[in-house]
Structure 1
Amino acid sequence: MMPIQEVWYVAREYAGIAEAGGVKNVSCSLAEGMAAQGYSVTVFIPAYGCVTISGELLYQDVIEAAGESHSIYFKKTSINGVRIVLVDGAVFRDKQAVYVYTAEEARRLPGDPRGRGHFDADIMNVLLQKAVLRFSCLSGEIPSIIHGQDAHTALLPAFMRTDEAYASRFSKTLAPVTIHNAGPGYRQGYPGILRARHITGLPESVLSFGACNGMVEPFLLAGQFGLLTTVSPWYAEEITSEQVNDYTEGLSRELSSRGIEIEGITNGLDFSRYDPSDTSISLLPFSFDPLMGDLSGKYKCRSWFLDFLKTDDLSSVSLEKFGFYEPSDEGVFFSYHGRIAWQKGLDVFEQAAKLVLDHLPQARFFVLGQGDPVLEAALIRMSMRYAGRFVYLRGYERSWARLVVAASDFLVLPSAFEPCGLEDFIGQTYGTIPVAHAVGGLQKIIDGRTGFLYGGSKTVSDANALASLLLEISEPMIGNGSCGCASVPRYKQMIQDAASYIREHYSWDKIIKERYIPWYEKKISSLY
Structure 2
Amino acid sequence: MAKKLNERSVLQIASEALPFAKTGGLADVLGALPPALARLGWDVTVVTPRYRGVTAGSLVERFPVTVGGFVADAGFFEAPLPDSARAILIDCPDLYDRDALYGVDNVDYTDNARRFAFLVRAALEFAARRAAAPSIVHVHDWQAGVAPVYLRTLYAGHPVLGGTRTVFTIHNLAYQGLFEPDWLPRIDLGWDEFTVDRMEYWSRISFLKGGINDATLLTTVSPRYAEEIQTPQLGFGFDGVLRARRADLVGILNGIDTHEWDPARDRFIPRPYSEDDLSGKAAAKAAVLERYGLPSDADALKRPLVGMVSRMVDQKGFDLIAELSEDLLRLEASFVVLGTGDARYQDLWTALAAERPDRIGARIGFDEALAHLIEAGADLFLMPSRFEPCGLNQMYSMRYGTIPVVHAVGGLADTVTPKTGFVFTDYSPPALLGALARALECFGNRQRWLALQRAGMTQDFSWDRSAKEYVKIYERALKRTRRA
| SS class of match (1:276) | coil
| SS class of match (2:315) | coil
- Residues 412 and 168 of structure 1: is their aligned pair in 2 closer, same or farther, counting only changes over 3 Å? same
Shift of 1:74: 1.4
Q: Which amino acid aligns with 1:508?
A: W
Structure 1 counterpart of 2:392: 422
Q: Which amino acid aligns with 2:256?
A: L
1:284 aligns with 2:275: no
1:210 aligns with 2:199: yes
- Which of 473, 478, 484 is residue 524 of structure 1 equivalent to? 478
Q: Which amino acid aligns with 1:16?
A: P
- Matches for 1:311-326 after TM superposition, within 5 Å: none
1:298 aligns with 2:281: yes
- Matches for 1:354-365 after TM superposition, within 5 Å: 354-358=326-330, 360=331, 362-365=332-335
Determine the C-alpha separation between the residues in 1 that align with 2:142 and 2:476: 24
Determine the C-alpha separation between the residues in 1 that align with 2:246 and 2:401: 42
- Residues 170 and 164 of structure 1: is their aligned pair in 2 closer, same or farther, counting only changes over 3 Å? closer
- Which of 135, 138, 155 is residue 147 of structure 1 equivalent to? 138
Q: Which amino acid aligns with 1:265?
A: I
| SS class of match (1:512) | helix
- Matches for 1:400-411 after TM superposition, within 5 Å: 400-411=370-381
1:343 aligns with 2:315: yes
- Residues 38 and 377 of structure 1: is their aligned pair in 2 closer, same or farther, counting only changes over 3 Å? same
- Which of 509, 515, 518 is residue 464 of structure 2 equivalent to? 509
Structure 2 counterpart of 1:371: 341
Determine the C-alpha separation between the residues in 2 that align with 1:332 and 1:53: 43
Structure 2 counterpart of 1:23: 26
Q: Which amino acid aligns with 1:427?
A: S
Determine the C-alpha separation between the residues in 2 that align with 1:12 and 1:273: 22
- Residues 189 and 273 of structure 1: is their aligned pair in 2 closer, same or farther, counting only changes over 3 Å? same
Structure 2 counterpart of 1:399: 369
Determine the C-alpha separation between the residues in 2 that align with 1:34 and 1:140: 21
Determine the C-alpha separation between the residues in 2 that align with 1:83 and 1:306: 40
Q: Does structure 2 conserve the Cα–Cα contact (< 8 Å) formed by 1:187 and 1:218?
A: yes
- Residues 168 and 3 of structure 1: is their aligned pair in 2 closer, same or farther, counting only changes over 3 Å? closer
Structure 1 counterpart of 2:450: 492
| SS class of match (1:14) | coil
Shift of 1:517: 1.2
Q: After the TM superposition, which of the residue ranges 122-131 and 431-440 deviates more from structure 2?
A: 122-131
State the TM-score, normalized to the length of structure 2: 0.91
- Matches for 1:411-450 after TM superposition, within 5 Å: 411-450=381-420
Structure 1 counterpart of 2:49: 46
Shift of 1:96: 4.4
Shift of 1:446: 4.0
Q: Which amino acid aligns with 2:234?
A: V
1:33 aligns with 2:17: no
1:237 aligns with 2:227: yes
- Residues 390 and 63 of structure 1: is their aligned pair in 2 closer, same or farther, counting only changes over 3 Å? same
Shift of 1:493: 0.9
Q: Does structure 2 conserve the Cα–Cα contact (< 8 Å) formed by 1:55 and 1:76?
A: yes
1:138 aligns with 2:129: yes
| SS class of match (1:145) | strand
State the TM-score, normalized to the length of structure 1: 0.84
Gaps of 5+ in 1: 101-112, 311-323, 479-486
Q: Does structure 2 conserve the Cα–Cα contact (< 8 Å) formed by 1:54 and 1:77?
A: yes
Q: Does structure 2 conserve the Cα–Cα contact (< 8 Å) formed by 1:369 and 1:394?
A: yes
Question: 1:423-453 deviations in whole A, cap 9, x for unaligned?
Answer: 1011111110001000011112343201111
Q: Does structure 2 conserve the Cα–Cα contact (< 8 Å) formed by 1:126 and 1:199?
A: no
Q: Which amino acid aligns with 2:172?
A: N
Structure 2 counterpart of 1:453: 423
Question: 1:223-259 deviations in whole A, cap 9, x for unaligned?
Answer: 22113210011111111122314xx1x1223433576
Gaps of 5+ in 2: none
Q: Does structure 2 conserve the Cα–Cα contact (< 8 Å) formed by 1:445 and 1:451?
A: no
- Matches for 1:247-286 after TM superposition, within 5 Å: 248=236, 250-256=237-243, 261-280=248-267, 283-286=268-271
Determine the C-alpha separation between the residues in 2 that align with 1:376 and 1:60: 46
Shift of 1:474: 1.0
Determine the C-alpha separation between the residues in 2 that align with 1:371 and 1:145: 37
Structure 2 counterpart of 1:71: 73
Q: Which amino acid aligns with 1:276?
A: P
Q: After the TM superposition, which of the residue ranges 49-58 and 412-421 deviates more from structure 2?
A: 49-58
- Which of 55, 58, 62 is residue 59 of structure 1 equivalent to? 62
Shift of 1:116: 4.3
Structure 1 counterpart of 2:209: 220
Shift of 1:16: 1.3
Determine the C-alpha separation between the residues in 2 that align with 1:14 and 1:403: 23
Determine the C-alpha separation between the residues in 1 that align with 2:194 and 2:120: 16
Question: 1:155-196 deviations in whole A, cap 9, x for unaligned?
Answer: 10000111157556433311111000011xx221213x22x3
Q: Does structure 2 conserve the Cα–Cα contact (< 8 Å) formed by 1:144 and 1:172?
A: no
Q: Which amino acid aligns with 2:177?
A: Q
| SS class of match (1:273) | coil
- Residues 476 and 135 of structure 1: is their aligned pair in 2 closer, same or farther, counting only changes over 3 Å? closer
Shift of 1:114: 4.1
Determine the C-alpha separation between the residues in 2 that align with 1:254 and 1:410: 39
Determine the C-alpha separation between the residues in 2 that align with 1:237 and 1:165: 32
Question: 1:30-70 deviations in whole A, cap 9, x for unaligned?
Answer: 111111122211111111112121313323223224x3222
Q: Does structure 2 conserve the Cα–Cα contact (< 8 Å) formed by 1:356 and 1:470?
A: no
Percent identity, aligned pairs only, is 28
State the superposition RMSD in angstroms: 2.3
Determine the C-alpha separation between the residues in 2 that align with 1:36 and 1:97: 33
Question: 1:303-333 deviations in whole A, cap 9, x for unaligned?
Answer: 12222323xxxxxxxxxxxxx5586444221
Shift of 1:121: 2.4
| SS class of match (1:144) | strand
Q: Does structure 2 conserve the Cα–Cα contact (< 8 Å) formed by 1:286 and 1:300?
A: yes
- Residues 155 and 62 of structure 1: is their aligned pair in 2 closer, same or farther, counting only changes over 3 Å? closer
Determine the C-alpha separation between the residues in 2 that align with 1:510 and 1:148: 20
